Amino acid sequence: MHPTKYYSPRLDRDLISTLYHTAKVCRVPMTMLASTFVREGLARLQESAAMESSILREEPPSFDPGGRKK
C-alpha cells in the first residue's frame, strides 16, 4: 500500500527566509509557525466570507419613489 501523498505548495524564497528567522527568534519549528499563520489566515477569510454572506442576505430597505415614509 502506498502512503497518501499531499500537495505541498512552495513558498516564495523571501518568505522562507523570513519564516526561518522568525521561527528561530520564537524558538519554534518553522512548520509550526507556518501552520499557525495559515490557520489564522484561513480563519480570517472564513469570518470575512461569513460576514459578506450575511450582509448579502439582508433585505434592502424598501424604496418609495414618492419619498413617503412607511
Contacts of 23 (CB under 8 A, 6+ apart): 29, 30, 32, 33
Q: How many CB atoms lie within 10 A of CB 34?
A: 17
Q: Does the residue 34 lie in any domain?
A: yes
C-alpha cell at 58: 439582508
Q: Does the residue 1 lie in any domain?
A: no
Phi-psi region of 9 (alpha: psi -120 to 50; beta: other; left: phi over 0): beta
Distance CA 7, CA 12 (A): 16
pTM for this structure?
A: 0.62
Q: Does the residue 67 lie in any domain?
A: no
Q: Quick check: 70 pLDDT over 60?
A: no
**Residue 1 pLDDT:** 65
How many structural domains comprise the chain? 1
Q: pLDDT tens digits, residue range 9-62?
A: 899 999 999 999 999 999 999 999 999 999 999 999 988 888 777 666 666 666
